[in-house]
Structure formats: structure tokens, C-alpha cells
């Protein structure tokens, strides 16, 4: 049965490949990915019902996961043009410029602009990614640009799978549960297909969880710092990890942070300039944030409430001594639900944790979030970035319905922060 489902998934990924360029065939891409999501959810339900894991089943999971990624690896990214931004940030560093002080729209850097410049995200903003990611962009720029960046994305994606297998064994859970990450269509599309850099931070974040479970709190905090300096979302769990590790863990966290930021020290506080510009101006596919904004009428208030809730949950989890893996899962979930911007690849942050906490609502979210790509229909033809309300409702209603049903059975969200 597992091999049959793997075959169906591979056929679907081949169909996605055949729809290139994907941004010119968005309705068909969404239809195929929704269908492949149903196959994935069927496979997830199957392995979650198993208490034992045979070697042959695990072999099918791992072999199929490699096949899926190979199928989409050579596909030029068209659902998202972020990879071209990564490529530019690598090139500008080789040219001797600081990406935290330079933006693609700078006239003096016109010779470094890619042919896809008109679709480059945030061309007027300086770099928003963490310094460790920028160092990797620089490394990839010395290789074959796009191929090097995709290789980095998939390498860290597969490294996350390896750590995930280690975590499952440590917690004495069937390793075949890794299928929930390895076969997730969202993960395959966003990392192997689009080459998103989130796989770097995700690897560090999961490694931090593995190390702290193995009673290595200081090294764990170093890994968490590396994750946060790749993409800032991982910092949400810092209170939980630092509380457990004491001053040595804090020193490790700060040391990694200083070492990664050192090459970009000329930027000073502008290390956060691009990030703050994005956070202040971009609104994309939000859910609870939209309700907060409607209730308060002011973005500053809505943002403050969202940040306050997230910070409160993190401190509460730390003070209660919540299991770091559970705390990481719930805090990432809170970030996604409260964020003013939820691109599909952000949801990959949650997927590894579903191997341990397989919430039906979030499993469905990994599929329905692909509906948000409908925004590319108008953007590709008219250059207008706008969402169709009924499709946003179609994306989120199943998710929140299942979340409320599940939390109604198991208790309030905050109550799950208990050990």
C-alpha cells in the first residue's frame, strides 16, 4: 500500500513538472497539488496507525522522498522568485558590498540585476535574512548560482530528515513517522522546487531540539542561535531553551550570534532594517491577524497584541518547564496563526513537529495553504497582488474547524504547554 501511494505521489510531482512555467498555469498547479495533498494525508493516516516500523517500509519512505526531490530539483523556480533574490544577495557580496546596506533597486548596482528583476521581491529593501543565511548565499554564489542555492536548500532539507529520524528513535516512536515530513508535498515543492532558504533554519531548529533532549543544552543553544540567524522565526523558542541551559547556554547563544554577524558589522542596527521594512509593510494571507486588525482598527495595536501573545506563550512555556519539542511546536503554530504574513513556505516550519504531534488541522493546512498561490493569477497577468476572499476562507475554514475540534477535545491551547 505504501509503495502504491509513493507511486501516486511521484506521478503527481511529474505532473507538476509538466506544468512549467508554474506561474502561468496556477489553476492547474493548485488542482494537482490539492490532489497530491489528499494522497499525502492518506499516507500520513496509514503510518500514524502503525505501532511498529519494518525496514522495508522505512526504505520505501526514504527512497521515495529522494525521488520526489530529484523530480523537482532541476525545475526553474516560478511559484516564487525568492531564489533570484538569494542569488543577487550572494553576487553583491562577491562584489564587495554589504547586503544589509544595499538593495537591488540601487541604480549603481544595476549591472548585478537578474533578468527577473521586475519580479524580484522587495527590490527596494535591503536584506531581511539572517547573517548566517547571507554567508551561505555568498558561498552558493561562488558555485553555480541557482543550482548551488537549490543544492543548499535540499541538502539542509535532507539533513532535517536525518535529525528527525534521530529524534523519533530517541523518543521511541516509529521512524516511519518521518513520512509526514519526507513526503509532504509542501516541503518538496518549496525546497526542491523553489529552493527556499527556510530549510537552513529548520535544520538548526530541529537540531537544537535533538541536542537538548540528549542533555546537551549548551550546544543546543548554539544550534538554536544558528537557526535564528538563518531565519528569525526560530528565536521564538529562545526563552524555553535559555531557561533550561542557564548562563552557559546564553553565552553560547550570544557567541554564535556575534560570530555570524561579524562579517556584516558595518551595517550596525541596519542588520534588522530590511526585516522591519518587510514586517511593517507586507500583508499576505493572514488569518487571526486580520481579525485583530479588524477589532483594533490599528496595525500597531494589532501587531502589539500578536507579539504580546507570542511572547507570553514563550515565557509561560519556559516557566512551566514545558518539553522543548512540544513548546517549539506550539510556538511555531502560534506564530503562523498570528502572523500578518503567511507565505506557503512558512508553513514548512511546522511540518517536522507534526511527526510527534499530528494535529489534523495543521496536517490539512500543509495542503490548503497551497490555495494561496491563486494570488499569482492576477500578479502574473496584471502585476496586481490581491487575494480572492472566498479562496482565503476555503484555505482557512477547514484548518480552524479541525483545530477547534481538536482543542475542544484535549483542552485549551495554552494548557497544552504542560508537560
Domain boundaries, the chain: 2-79+143-268+281-417, 82-128
Number of H helices, E strands in the chain: 19, 0
Report how far Cα 78 is from the mean position of its chain's Cα atoms.
18
For residue 15, the model assigns a pLDDT of: 95
- Identify whether the C-beta of residue 310 lies closer than 8 Å to the C-beta of residue 236: yes
For residue 233, the model assigns a pLDDT of: 87
For residue 210, the model assigns a pLDDT of: 96
For residue 37, the model assigns a pLDDT of: 94
- Identify whether the C-beta of residue 327 lies closer than 8 Å to the C-beta of residue 240: yes
Q: Is the peptide bond before 21 cis (omega within 30 degrees of 0)?
A: yes
For residue 413, the model assigns a pLDDT of: 54
**What b/e sequence results for 372-390 when a residue is b if at least 16 CB atoms lie within 10 Å of its CB, and e otherwise?**
bbbbbbebbeeeeeebeee
Q: Which residues contact 19 (CB under 8 A, 6 or more apart)?
A: 25, 28, 29, 32
Query: What CA–CA distance (Å, rounded) separates 245 from 239?
Result: 10
Report how far Cα 124 is from the mean position of its chain's Cα atoms.
24
Query: What CA–CA distance (Å, rounded) separates 156 from 154?
Result: 5
Question: 79 phi and psi, to 5 degrees?
Answer: -70, -25
For residue 54, the model assigns a pLDDT of: 80
Query: What CA–CA distance (Å, rounded) separates 122 from 136?
Result: 20
Q: Which three cell numbers stand for residue 186?
A: 509542501
Query: What CA–CA distance (Å, rounded) separates 182 from 359?
Result: 17
Please report, in tens digits, the pLDDT of each residue of the chain (419 residues total): 889 999 999 999 999 999 999 999 999 999 999 999 999 999 999 999 888 778 889 999 999 999 999 999 999 999 998 998 998 999 999 989 999 999 998 988 888 887 777 777 788 889 999 999 999 999 888 876 678 899 999 999 999 999 999 999 999 999 999 999 999 999 999 999 999 999 999 999 999 999 999 989 899 999 999 999 999 889 999 999 998 888 888 899 999 989 989 999 998 888 888 888 877 777 889 999 999 998 988 888 988 999 999 999 999 999 898 999 999 999 999 999 999 999 999 999 999 999 999 999 999 999 999 999 999 998 888 778 888 899 999 999 999 999 998 887 766 555 555 55
Q: What is the chain's percent helix, strand, coil content, to nearest 5?
A: 75, 0, 25
For residue 342, the model assigns a pLDDT of: 93
Q: Which of 395, 374, 393 is nearest to 385 (CA)?
A: 374
Report how far Cα 72 is from the mean position of its chain's Cα atoms.
18
The DSSP result for 289-314, as a single string, is HHHHHHHHS-HHHHHHHHHHHHHHHH
Q: Which three cell numbers stand for residue 363?
A: 496536517
Q: Which of 232, 234, 214 is nearest to 224 (CA)?
A: 234
For residue 69, the model assigns a pLDDT of: 97
Query: What CA–CA distance (Å, rounded) separates 302 from 298?
Result: 6
Amino acid at each position: 500500500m505504501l509503495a502504491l501511494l509513493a507511486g501516486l505521489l511521484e506521478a503527481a510531482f511529474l505532473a507538476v513538472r509538466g506544468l512549467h512555467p508554474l506561474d502561468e498555469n496556477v489553476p492547474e498547479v493548485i488542482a494537482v497539488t490539492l490532489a497530491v495533498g489528499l494522497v499525502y494525508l492518506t499516507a500520513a493516516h496509514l503510518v500514524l496507525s502503525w505501532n511498529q516500523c519494518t525496514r522495508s517500509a522505512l526504505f520505501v519512505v526514504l527512497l521515495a522522498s529522494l525521488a520526489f526531490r530529484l523530480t523537482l530539483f532541476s525545475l526553474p523556480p516560478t511559484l516564487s522568485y525568492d531564489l533570484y533574490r538569494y542569488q543577487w544577495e550572494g553576487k553583491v557580496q562577491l562584489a564587495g558590498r554589504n547586503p544589509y546596506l544595499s538593495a537591488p533597486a540601487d541604480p549603481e548596482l544595476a549591472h548585478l540585476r537578474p533578468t527577473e528583476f521586475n519580479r524580484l521581491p522587495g527590490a527596494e529593501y535591503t536584506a531581511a535574512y539572517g547573517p548566517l543565511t547571507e554567508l551561505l548565499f555568498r558561498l552558493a554564489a561562488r558555485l553555480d548560482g541557482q543550482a548551488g542555492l537549490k543544492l543548499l536548500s535540499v541538502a539542509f532539507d535532507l539533513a532535517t530528515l536525518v535529525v528527525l529520524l534521530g529524534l523519533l528513535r530517541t523518543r521511541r516512536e516509529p521512524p516511519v513517522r518521518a513520512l509526514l515530513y519526507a513526503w509532504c508535498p509542501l516541503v518538496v515543492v518549496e525546497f526542491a522546487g523553489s529552493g527556499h532558504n527556510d530549510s537552513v533554519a529548520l535544520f538548526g531548529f530541529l537540531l537544537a531540539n535533538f541536542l537538548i533532549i540528549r542533555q546537551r543544552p549548551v550546544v543546543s543553544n548554539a544550534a538554536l542561535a544558528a537557526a535564528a540567524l538563518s531565519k528569525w522565526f526560530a528565536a521564538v523558542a529562545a526563552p524555553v531553551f535559555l531557561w533550561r541551559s542557564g548562563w552557559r547556554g546564553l553565552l553560547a547563544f550570544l557567541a554564535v550570534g556575534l560570530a555570524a554577524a561579524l562579517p556584516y558589522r558595518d551595517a550596525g542596527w541596519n542588520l534588522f532594517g530590511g526585516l522591519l521594512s518587510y514586517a511593517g509593510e507586507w500583508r499576505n494571507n493572514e488569518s487571526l491577524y486580520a481579525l485583530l486588525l479588524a477589532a483594533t482598527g490599528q496595525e500597531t495595536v494589532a501587531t502589539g497584541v500578536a507579539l504580546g501573545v507570542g511572547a507570553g506563550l514563550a515565557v509561560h512555556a519556559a516557566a512551566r518547564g514545558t518539553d522543548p519539542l512540544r513548546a517549539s511546536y506550539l510556538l511555531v503554530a502560534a506564530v503562523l496563526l498570528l502572523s500578518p504574513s503567511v507565505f506557503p513556505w512558512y508553513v514548512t516550519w511546522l511540518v517536522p513537529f507534526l511527526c510527534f504531534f499530528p494535529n489534523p488541522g495543521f496536517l490539512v493546512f500543509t495542503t490548503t495553504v497551497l490555495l494561496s498561490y491563486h494570488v499569482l493569477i492576477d500578479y502574473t497577468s496584471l502585476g496586481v497582488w490581491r487575494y480572492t476572499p472566498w479562496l482565503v476562507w476555503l484555505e482557512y475554514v477547514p484548518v480552524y474547524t479541525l483545530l477547534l475540534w481538536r482543542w475542544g477535545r484535549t483542552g485549551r491551547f495554552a494548557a497544552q504547554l504542560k508537560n
